[in-house]
Structure 1
Amino acid sequence: MDLEEILTRGVAEIITKEELLEKLRSGRTLRLKMGFDPSKPNLHIGHYVGLRKIRQLQDLGHTVVLIVGDWTAQIGDPSGRDESRTMLDPETVRANADTYMQQFFRVVDRSRTEVRWQSEWFGKFTLADVFNLTSRFTLGQMMAHETFRKRYEQGLPLSLMELLYPLLQAYDSIAVEADVEFGGTDQKFNILAGRELQRMLGKEPQNVFLVPLLVGLDGRKMSKTFNNTIDLVDPPEEMYGKIMSMGDDVIIEYFILTTDVPMAEIEEMEREMKAGRVNPRDLKMRLARELITQLYDAEAARKAEEEFVRVFQRRELPSEMPQFRLTEPKNIVDLLVEAGLAASKSEARRLIQQGGVKLNEEVISDIEATIALTEPAVLRVGKRRFVQLVP
């Protein structure tokens, strides 16, 4: 992929592109900053969009600087949220960070990455440092942040601690001497704050590199709340099934943002799909193979496709599934939770009431049903979750 395509394909905005091009052509090694707050344990395919970009520039010889937001994660980025986050304890943040980095380095080259923890500099911050930092920005500037402004106008809680978040992220750029900072479009305010702080302190301002926010499988915002994410740790079979369940209207966007399929080929796919000359199912299968090959390998993609065809096209059972020993009669709600097919009893009841629970392909509609076995059986929830029950 040439430099022009790196700076245009799947890119929402660069501030400024001319400055960045000049830096890239200068011959010096740039410091490419990307931060993450380990507030949850898993990265999803939306994060993958930005990770691919920094990997592409890393392959040109530049250094990735990964900021582990062990301080800001305890606050939680308020961007796009209409309520305050619950503060996390340091142990949870550290555990999440460990899993994040394992996933991060499935995409980015570890040998050319500098990992920095915010506690390196914020652990030494004094009250005088806080005063010095906060004095450089006004309340008016903070209220230009769309999330802050909306919450204030709606009379919703907005803590002073949350107002500090963009300033702390901005100071990260000072601490690591960032040349470019990457993020989604929802990070524009915070990254621009870093650029402005560098200018105030007489440093060369970082460039802002923004990538689009990838929508979830159902076309809404990608979020665990909506159960519409593809996590980087999803097994290949599950990843394949999720991609096949996505809406047809997001196929092209996923090809552009998450694969290396040439743009000319993607544009042809779009024309063929609009004309009705290609089945969207076939494009999803291609997309699934591309993504799984990138995140695992071609053999994993082949096996995942075989499994999908067996289970969803031939209506056969999966070749492998977890087992749960049922030695005595058990209420179906309790069974779903204990077998790991529902996260809670309320979710189990909802699944049953929606007709999503089957035992040996017979729908179970009664939340009071008792399940007893004399021989092995298959308990199924939705299209992709199976457990073999054994007496």
Structure 2
Amino acid sequence: MEVRKDKEIIDRILNKGVEQILPSKEALRELLESDKRIRIYQGFDPTADTLHIGHTVGMRKLEDFRKLGHHVIFLVGDFTARIGDPSDKTAARQMLTKEQVEENMKLYKEQASNIIDMDNKENPVEVLYNSQWLEPLNFNDIIHLASKFTVQQMIKRDMFQRRLETNKPIYISEFMYPIMQGYDCVMMNVDVEVGGNDQLFNMLAGRDLIMSELNKEKIVLAGKLLETSDGSKMGKSEGNMIKMNDTPEEIFGKVMAFTDDQIVDAFELLTSADLDEIDEIKKRFESDENPMKLKKELAFRITSELKTEKEAKIAEEYFETVFQNKSIETELKEVTVKEKEYNILELITEVELAPSKSQARRLVEQNAVSIDDEKIDDWQMSITITKPIVIKVGKNILKITQDN
């Protein structure tokens, strides 16, 4: 596979969404401007049944490396997920069974394909599972690996210090996690590891181990994290993240819930916007332009890139109908119906907004019924529910979804 040296892509790898590169940005630039085809990876632990939007930051990096012709590895941490990464955790993770992990990871490759051209004919991404080499390790192997690290190295981590202060337990198994992640690097013989800045300790453990075992340098590319207004990260463990299996309406709505000061960072981290476009967005944000306009552009961009432009348009219209129309409350009771198609009178009575079809007909004839803010004046109308709808009958409002 021929290696490309596209300046725009290289600059994007080095500068967009990057917190730090170790040992240096110059070292990675030199590697990318050489003729060497390098091996790059990021690991994804299936501790939940879906990837989330935070994962797309690293996945966009992997796709840029792939476009340059390099060997990209998408590592599913099906073994490490059973223990769980203790990074930034104030309490030990609940350990998962092999069966739980296998169930969780079923959609990972399909979801990653929204961002990475996984099955590209010229340069496909290699998918590996770390149970292939971690599961066969014997106790002698584990002692050998553990001997490369000290208790002092492990215990100095912030989250372990916090647990010591609050007298919460620290399990030996948690010390093993960075060792296992480091061993992943050795077994895949990688040149570059990509991950979030919260993974820095683990990635540096891999850097040390690959030097010890293979006598080679590994470059660490640590990405920025999208943080909430209180400084905490967004992620699946924290319960505040956009999931890859969210509906377009949910994605759009969650982005619109971002604070204004997250807008520029979100364009940088969560979209395909290039560096020049991000600079322009920053200038607009710092001017007198209404942040709501920028946030809607952001929501549309993220939704269309994770789903489709058509779905993003529908989600935008839904948001405007439900959340921006002052006549509709933002907190709606949600009702699920079984059928996909209803006569309007049947739908009104099904969701108990009228006691009978005759009463429902009178309400329609009195112009007291609307769906997605459009008046219904034909009591014979058929309603097809392909996406969530908002129905208003008099002063009563419901969100209706169809049970697939």
| Alpha-carbon distance, 1:136 to partner | 1.4
When residues 307 and 153 of structure 1 are mapped into structure 2, their CA distance, relative to the original with a 3 A threshold, is: closer
- The answer on whether the counterparts of 2:52 and 2:235 sit within 8 Å (CA) in structure 1 is no
Residue type at the aligned position of 1:48: T
Distance 2:254 2:159 in 1: 31
When residues 99 and 265 of structure 1 are mapped into structure 2, their CA distance, relative to the original with a 3 A threshold, is: closer
Residue type at the aligned position of 2:183: Y
| Alpha-carbon distance, 1:36 to partner | 1.4
Residue type at the aligned position of 1:257: L
TM-score (norm: length of structure 1): 0.79
Residue type at the aligned position of 1:267: D
1:369 is matched with which residue?
none
Matched, 1:233 2:233: no
When residues 250 and 72 of structure 1 are mapped into structure 2, their CA distance, relative to the original with a 3 A threshold, is: same
1:170 is matched with which residue?
182
- The answer on whether the counterparts of 2:54 and 2:235 sit within 8 Å (CA) in structure 1 is no
Matched, 1:299 2:310: yes
- The answer on whether the counterparts of 2:335 and 2:398 sit within 8 Å (CA) in structure 1 is no
- The answer on whether the counterparts of 1:216 and 1:229 sit within 8 Å (CA) in structure 2 is no
1:337 is matched with which residue?
none
Q: 1:324 aligns with which of 337, 347, 350?
A: 337
Distance 1:141 1:226 in 2: 26
When residues 261 and 379 of structure 1 are mapped into structure 2, their CA distance, relative to the original with a 3 A threshold, is: same
- 5+ residue gaps, structure 1, are 326-357, 361-371
2:291 is matched with which residue?
280
- The answer on whether the counterparts of 1:252 and 1:266 sit within 8 Å (CA) in structure 2 is yes
Distance 1:56 1:322 in 2: 43
* 1:283-334 Cα deviation digits (max 9, x unpaired): 11111221122222322222222232333334579xxx86337xxxxxxxxx
Distance 1:385 1:125 in 2: 56
1:331 is matched with which residue?
none
Q: Secondary structure at the match of 1:65?
A: strand
- Structure 1 window deviating more from structure 2 (221-230 vs 83-92): it is 221-230
1:28 is matched with which residue?
36
Q: 1:101 aligns with which of 84, 109, 113?
A: 109
Q: Secondary structure at the match of 1:7?
A: helix
Matched, 1:68 2:76: yes
Q: 2:173 aligns with which of 161, 175, 183?
A: 161
1:387 is matched with which residue?
400
Matched, 1:40 2:51: no
Q: 2:88 aligns with which of 70, 75, 80?
A: 80
Q: 1:251 aligns with which of 263, 273, 293?
A: 263
Distance 1:323 1:148 in 2: 45
Distance 2:140 2:163 in 1: 29
1:339 is matched with which residue?
none
Q: Secondary structure at the match of 2:100?
A: helix
- How many positions carry a matched residue from both structures? 341
- The answer on whether the counterparts of 2:83 and 2:93 sit within 8 Å (CA) in structure 1 is yes
Residue type at the aligned position of 1:299: K
Distance 1:189 1:218 in 2: 23
Q: Secondary structure at the match of 1:156?
A: coil
- The answer on whether the counterparts of 2:9 and 2:64 sit within 8 Å (CA) in structure 1 is no
TM-score (norm: length of structure 2): 0.76
Matched, 1:128 2:136: no
* 1:122-146 Cα deviation digits (max 9, x unpaired): 2211111011111111111222322
Matched, 1:152 2:152: no
What is the alpha-carbon root mean square deviation over aligned residues?
3.0
- The answer on whether the counterparts of 2:12 and 2:275 sit within 8 Å (CA) in structure 1 is no
Distance 1:37 1:123 in 2: 15
When residues 60 and 131 of structure 1 are mapped into structure 2, their CA distance, relative to the original with a 3 A threshold, is: same
- The answer on whether the counterparts of 2:47 and 2:81 sit within 8 Å (CA) in structure 1 is yes
Distance 1:183 1:290 in 2: 23
When residues 359 and 21 of structure 1 are mapped into structure 2, their CA distance, relative to the original with a 3 A threshold, is: farther
1:59 is matched with which residue?
67
- 5+ residue gaps, structure 2, are 1-7, 339-350, 361-368, 370-389
* 1:22-46 Cα deviation digits (max 9, x unpaired): 2212222211111111111122211
2:204 is matched with which residue?
192
| Alpha-carbon distance, 1:70 to partner | 1.6
Residue type at the aligned position of 1:306: E
When residues 261 and 136 of structure 1 are mapped into structure 2, their CA distance, relative to the original with a 3 A threshold, is: closer
- The answer on whether the counterparts of 1:218 and 1:246 sit within 8 Å (CA) in structure 2 is no
When residues 126 and 46 of structure 1 are mapped into structure 2, their CA distance, relative to the original with a 3 A threshold, is: same
When residues 155 and 220 of structure 1 are mapped into structure 2, their CA distance, relative to the original with a 3 A threshold, is: closer
Distance 1:267 1:110 in 2: 30
2:17 is matched with which residue?
10
When residues 51 and 216 of structure 1 are mapped into structure 2, their CA distance, relative to the original with a 3 A threshold, is: farther
When residues 30 and 271 of structure 1 are mapped into structure 2, their CA distance, relative to the original with a 3 A threshold, is: same
Residue type at the aligned position of 1:288: A
Distance 1:135 1:127 in 2: 12
When residues 102 and 158 of structure 1 are mapped into structure 2, their CA distance, relative to the original with a 3 A threshold, is: same
Distance 2:172 2:220 in 1: 26
- The answer on whether the counterparts of 1:40 and 1:96 sit within 8 Å (CA) in structure 2 is yes
- The answer on whether the counterparts of 2:255 and 2:299 sit within 8 Å (CA) in structure 1 is yes
Q: Secondary structure at the match of 1:70?
A: coil
Q: Secondary structure at the match of 1:66?
A: strand
Q: 2:225 aligns with which of 213, 216, 224?
A: 213
Matched, 1:290 2:291: no
| Alpha-carbon distance, 1:280 to partner | 1.3
When residues 250 and 32 of structure 1 are mapped into structure 2, their CA distance, relative to the original with a 3 A threshold, is: same
* 1:165-224 Cα deviation digits (max 9, x unpaired): 110110000111111111111111110011101111133121101001112488743145
| Alpha-carbon distance, 1:274 to partner | 3.5
| Alpha-carbon distance, 1:253 to partner | 0.8
When residues 218 and 106 of structure 1 are mapped into structure 2, their CA distance, relative to the original with a 3 A threshold, is: farther
